[in-house]
Every structure is written in structure tokens, then in C-alpha cells.
Structure 1
Amino acid sequence: MRNVTYKNVHNRFRLNGVYLSKEDLIHVSYSLVKEGDEFEKSIGDFLLDWFDDKPYIDLQTSGTTGVPKVLRTVKQTMVNSALATGDFFELKPGDKALYCLPTRFIAGKMMLVRSFILGLDIDFVAPTSNPLERNETVYDFAAMVPLQAKNSIPELRNVKKLIIGGAQMSKELEKSLLKINTKVYETYGMTETMTHIAAKKIGEKAFTVLPRIKISQNDQKCLVIDAPRVAKEPIVTNDIVEVLNEKQFIFLGRIDNVVNSGGIKMLPEQIEEKLSNAISEKFFVGGIPDDLLGEKLVLVVEGPERDIDESIFDVLDKYEKPKKIFFVDKFSETDNGKIKRKEILATLQ
């Protein structure tokens, strides 16, 4: 199995219950591109790119580690990522999997690669906000974004193992997922690392890295990922972390979200964690320009304006208390559910 290359299709692979060889997959891909719905066309396009003669494929990054760009990727690195995921989550040939992510994102592409490399029996459905609706199939493995998981909680009884990524999970969602029997993991990764390089069970603080990955920090306390099987050079992220040991780290916040107010540097994500039990709506904290402080910390809440009991700030340190509260009718978000903090904050100045 360790000699698997990007040209392989596992003999246990099934797509919507039907065995397909490499040649069959190419034929089906042409049909999807020609006759399928939009989400099916994107699946067909990716598979045709995958099974062409080139050893590489071009991926669009999300901008997690900088400006969005096209990343030319050796296909074998995606195979290596699939194998690492299979090891970490103990996936076996013949396991039943659900594919419900948009193929334009790396997470969606990797679910397809895992399926024919690891020999999964995968069903694909439209990447809707509730992909398990009217679906009683029992799945061994599935991947979703937080919004899909939130809308699928009653149906998740039929999923044995679920990974969630693409955007940070809210505390409210985490509490709901802890009540069900499904093994749920939050993942950490980006396009540059061929999706996740670490995962943690919900309810736990520390992420554990996948096999053959090393982690460290730079001078700014940002995570540095050394994953030679999926990236030629170490990847320096914008994520401030606490490294516990060579295999585990705790995510603290993004360096580009840091608020410097009067010389006091604060991580919004840490403040948000403290407030998560007191605010039921979507919210975030951030900094806006201030003549005296340079930046002042503000709380931004989604929805109509309302009174907020200031006692909720008692859990915060002296400098962490927001100087002002803003209400925004509807947050701008990326396609995979990340709040566009900078864009929203710019409208408040």
C-alpha cells in the first residue's frame, strides 16, 4: 500500500456503490462535465485533471498563509496526505464514506483522492447546508464544514467518524456535538499542506499532528510546519500557537488579528473563548483605529441592536474589556463560513 502512486485506483473503491476502474472514472468524469449539475461538473473536471498525463495539478489557495494564489502541486503529495489521513483515522478499504464538500476547495478534492487511493465506498451528494437530509445510509467517515455539521446534528447518528474543518467551530456547536455518539474531530490545515495536518477530538484543547509531520515555532510564536511528504519547504503560518511537544499544539489566535491597544497586545480569539458562553449570537472582537490608543478593542455582534449586560465582561482581564459594542445585521463570510473580520471592521470606522 505504501508504494501507491497517483496513477492508482484501489480495487475496493466504489462511487455511489459502483466499482469504477481508472478508465471507468475517466469515462464517468466526461459524462459529469457534459451532463451533470454544477457540483458534478466540478467533480468531473477535477478527476480529468487528476488522471491526465501531468504529474502535477494546480490548486487555488484560500489565503490562509498569505495572499490567495495558484499553487502548483505534485499529485503524489496529495496521495501522501491521503495515506496519512487513512493512518490517523484508521480508515480501511471498503469503509463507507460521504462526500458533501465543494470540489473547488482542497478539502473536497482530498476526499475524492482519499476515496480511490484508500479504497473507500463513497457516495457523493450536492454540497448543501444539510447534506444528510433524507439520507438514512450509515457512514464510517465523512467531512463537513461547521455549518453542515450544525444543520445535520439529528442525522449524524448515522455517521461513525466525522471531521470538521474550513472554519473555526463555535463553542455552541461543539457542545451540541459532544452530546451525540459520533466521534467528531476538528481539523487544522490549509491548501499548502494538502488539507489537514493535525486534528483534535472535540472537547480537547490540543491538536495532534498526523504521521511524519514535525512542528515548531518562529520568533513570533507562529506555527511552522515541516511536512516533507506534502510540502518541499517548511510552511510558516500566521497562527500563534503553544507547542506542547513534538506532536501537539494549542491554537491561540492569528497574528493578523492581534489588537495592539496602547501597547497592550491582545489575541481576539482568546477573548472570544472567554465570552463564548455568554453570547448566543455570532460575534467577534477586533481592533479599530483610535487616536489615543492606536487601536481600540471592540465587540461586534450579528443581529439587531440590543442591550448587553456588562456583567458578561467580568470574565475578562482589565485590558480585554471592549471599549465599544457594534451590531451588524448580517456578517460577511467566505464560502466555507469564515467571518470576514477585516472587511466588517472597516465598515465600522
Structure 2
Amino acid sequence: MTPKFDKIHLKFKLNGIHYNHEELKEIAYSLVKEGDDYEQVIGNFLLDWIDDKDHVLVNTSGSTGLPKTIMLKKQAMVNSAIMTGDFFGLQPGDKALHCLPSQYIAGKMMLVRAMILGLELDLVSPSTIPAYDNLKHYDFCAMIPLQLKNSLQRLAHIKTLIVGGASVSKVLKSKLYNVKAKVFETYGMTETVSHIAVRQLNRNSDNAHFQVLRDIQISTDDRSCLIIDAKKLSDEKIITNDIVEMISKTEFDIIGRFDNMINSGGVKLFPELIEAKLQGKIETRFFITSEADKDLGQKVVLVLESDSNMLEPSVFENLKKFEVPKSVYHISKFIQTETGKLQRQKTLEAILGTS
């Protein structure tokens, strides 16, 4: 029987203390009134969760457009929590670490999973270097890639860790092979109530594909973009701008974003695929994008997070003719969302002085 959103699991604990519905309201008020900034956000969400409404308002991160506020049904969030719990085998009484910002769906869902599944949840500040007790055993944790990168030597006592909010670089993936924790990359968005698919990044998973959670159906449109049919999460099918390769009815690989695609002289190019070829050849962070060209329509450009745009020609030796950047730009710091997602267009506009 699926639990309802107005029920709090008997084994749920927050920072080691059990709270029922009324007690949770009191601690939420306390967090809002006396807590640190991140605790105030948590307190406000808890108050929204236990009120009489059947929905909550959630902010999107704005990684691919303007940030916006959308309405999510609380029962859909419960259903998502159960899907995740089933996939990872989470049990009442399991211990979880919450180190994400709770303004966004990923952080909110850590709280919902704990309340619905009966997890014992520890809260720490959502910094880029999470300050948690790395000698305490945790069954479950979620991080963004930068937090994972900064915690590589401190994961021995985490059983399962999911990472999302931004793409996981090839370099970071290479450092996960000997990590004891099982690390999974997630795929999802606010509209899908957090992730709807995962793939393991370590433990002999070089060829792992994204695997959908139960009750999720996937297909593609005429652009080869992913369509998500998740009746327990959304009343309507969700049409994404993510170009995918369907491996099976339940597995897929991401090729790139449709809105990132470059048409250079009639050749369709995907920045993400070019970036993969350049991984390990450029020491600084970088990304591929495009700008207008009178002859080609669009031309490929490379943007470096650096104080210089100087690169050896050998960096591009594995690229095809149309993939080779026509210009190399640099900027001291990329523009990102609060969740660490790269904002390609805004970064390029900052360099070119356009808007």
C-alpha cells in the first residue's frame, strides 16, 4: 500500500531525534526562527510539506533557461521517494546524509525520502566540501559533482551515493573506480520530481547505460529527444531537449542537448561529444559552444576557464575537421547556477560583451 503524503514514518529521525507530525511542525518553526540559512530553507519546506495543501512550489535551477517556479503534487514526490527506495533497497532505519541545498528538488527529495521511507537523516551545511562525520556509516547520500570531487577520500563509510545537478566529468569518473561506495549518476529534472534514471559510475561499469526506475516509460520524438511517461510523477508526458540513443525499452545513453547542437556548414555537431574527445587534454575546465558565422552559419568555439587561451595544436589532433574550434576564448570563472550547472550562453555573452 502506497503511503500518503500526510503520513510521517514511525522510524523517521532528523539529526538523531524522532518527530511525529506535530513535533515536526515545532522543529520546523524553530529552524526557520533560529537556524542557519540552510536550516531556515529546510524549516520552510517542512512547514510547506505538513500543511493542508496537496502540492508544493519548487524552483527550477535555470540551467537551460530562466529560473521558474512550478507546482508539484506531494503525492508525486512520495511516489518518487518510493521508486528510489525500491531501486536502492533502502529500508526503515537506514541512515542518510543530507548535504544538498534544499531550495531545489534534489534537496527537498532527500527530506521527503527520509519522512516517507523512515530514514534517519543527518543534516549538514550544503557547502562544496561537506563537513560530515566520515567515520559514521551512511546507507545513502546525494551530492553534486563538485562535492563528490572534494569528498573522494572520505567516502569509505557511505554505502550508496547518487550524484546529479550537473554532468560528471570523465576525469572525475576515472577517480571512482576504487571508491568503496557505490556511486550512481542520476538523470532527471524538477518536472520529473528528481531522478527517473540512474547509472553506476564505478564497479566495472564502463559500459553502463542509464536505467529507468520502475513505472517509468521512455521513448523518443522525431528529434531523437527523450520523452518521459511517468504517470505516478506527472499527469502529462514530459518532452525533453536531451538527444538520446535508446539501448532498450528501459535503457538509454545521452548524446547531447538539442538546444546545444551546432549546425556548422550543414554538419550537425554535439558539444558534449567534442568535449568528451578533449577530456584529459586540457588541464583547465572548458566547454564547447558556437557563435554565428557568415559562411558556416555557426562555428565551433572553445571556452576555457583560464587566464589564457593558449593551447598546443596537438590538443585537437583527435577531432574531425568540422569539430576543431575556430576560436578559443577564456574567462577567469564560468557562470553557473547555484547547483553547479554550467551556463554556457551566459558565459559566452560575458566574454563577448553581448546579452
TM-score, length of structure 1 as denominator length:
0.96
Deviation of 1:84 after TM superposition, in Å, equals 0.2
**How far apart in 1 are the matches of 2:189 and 2:235?**
15
- CA deviations on 1:222-249 (whole Å, 9 max, x unpaired) are 1000000000000000100001111000
Per-residue deviation, 1:327: 1.7
Structure-to-structure mapping, 1:96-135, within 5 angstroms: 96-132=95-131, 135=134
Query: 1:304 Cα deviation (Å)?
Result: 1.8
Matches within 5 A, 1:27-176: 27-63=26-62, 67-132=66-131, 135-176=134-175
Q: Which runs of 5+ in 2 are unaligned?
A: none
Q: Which residue of 2 aligns with 1:246?
A: 249
Point out where structure 1 has 5 or more consecutive residues left out of the alignment: none
| Aligned with 2:330 (options 304, 327, 330) | 327
User: Out of 302, 311, 314, which is 1:311 matched to?
Assistant: 314
Shifted more, 308-317 versus 229-238: the winner is 308-317
Q: CA deviation at 1:265?
A: 1.2
- On the 8 A contact 2:245/2:255 being kept in 1, the answer is yes
Measure how far apart 1:133 and its partner are. 5.0
Contact 1:65 1:236 in 2 (8 A): no
| CA distance, structure 2, for counterparts of residue 321 and residue 33 of structure 1 | 52
Aligned-partner residue type, residue 226 of structure 2: L
Distance apart, 1:65 and its partner CA: 7.0
Give CA-to-partner distance per residue, 1:40-61, whole Å, 9 cap, x none. Answer: 1111100000000111111122
Residue aligned with 1:84, SS: helix
Structure 2 Cα separation of the partners of residues 38 and 181 of structure 1? 33
Separation in 1 of the partners of 2:89 and 2:240? 28
**How far has the Cα of 1:3 moved from its partner?**
2.5
1:271 alignment partner, one of 260, 274, 278? 274
Task: Supply the RMSD in Å over aligned alpha carbons.
Answer: 1.4
Deviates more, 1:330-339 or 1:44-53: 330-339
Residues 294 and 173 from structure 1, CA distance in 2 versus in 1: closer, same or farther, beyond 3 angstroms?
same
Question: Equivalent residues in 2 for 1:172-211 (5 A)?
Answer: 172-202=171-201, 203-211=206-214
Matched residues in 2 for 1:20 and 1:65: separation?
Answer: 38
What is the letter of the counterpart of residue 206 of structure 1?
A: H
Contact 2:134 2:156 (8 Å CA) reproduced? no
| Structure 2 match to 1:237 | 240
Q: Matched residues in 2 for 1:306 and 1:341: separation? A: 17
Is 1:292 the counterpart of 2:295? The answer is yes
Distance 1:327 1:31, change over 3 A: same
Give the match for residue 220 of structure 2: 217
Identical columns (%): 49
- Contact map agreement 1:132 1:152 (CA 8 A) in 2: no
Aligned residue pairs total 348
Q: State which drifts further: 232-241 or 200-209.
A: 200-209
Partner of residue 261 from structure 1, selected from 261, 264, 270 = 264
Give the Cα–Cα distance (whole angstroms) in 2 for the partners of residues 291 and 176 of structure 1: 43
Moved more, 147-156 or 305-314: 305-314
Distance 1:58 1:330 in 2: 31
Partners of 2:131 and 2:16 in 1: CA distance: 17
- Quote the offset at 1:66 in angstroms: 5.6
Counterpart amino acid of 1:212? D
Give the partner amino acid of 1:163.
I
Residue type of the alignment partner of 1:4? P
Q: Kindly provide the CA deviation profile for residues 233-285 of structure 1, in whole angstroms up to 9, marking residues without a partner as x.
A: 00000100001111000001001111111111100001101111212211011
TM-score, structure 2 normalization: 0.95
Between 247-256 and 321-330, report the one with greater CA deviation: 321-330
Kept in 2, the 8 Å contact 1:222–1:239? The answer is: yes
SS at 1:180 equivalent: coil
More displaced, 17-26 or 298-307? 298-307
- Choose 310-319 or 184-193, whichever is displaced more: 310-319
Which residue pairs with 1:228 in the alignment?
A: 231
- How far apart, CA to CA, are the structure 2 residues paired with 1:64 and 1:298? 20
Amino acid at match of 2:217: K
Contact 1:64 1:190 survives alignment (8 Å): no
1:245 alignment partner AA: S
Q: Give me the whole-angstrom Cα distance separating, in 2, the residues matched to 1:116 and 1:25.
A: 10
Compared with structure 1, are the counterparts of its residues 75 and 242 closer, same or farther at alpha carbon in structure 2 (3 Å cutoff)?
same
Indicate the residue corresponding to 2:10 in structure 1: 11
Moved more, 210-219 or 336-345: 336-345
Paired AA for residue 61 in structure 1:
T
Q: 8 Å contact 1:133–1:152 — kept in the other structure?
A: no
Off by >3 Å, runs of 4+ in structure 1: 63-68, 132-135
Q: CA deviation at 1:30?
A: 0.8
Matched to 2:235, the amino acid is: K
Structure 2 residue identity aligned to 1:171: K
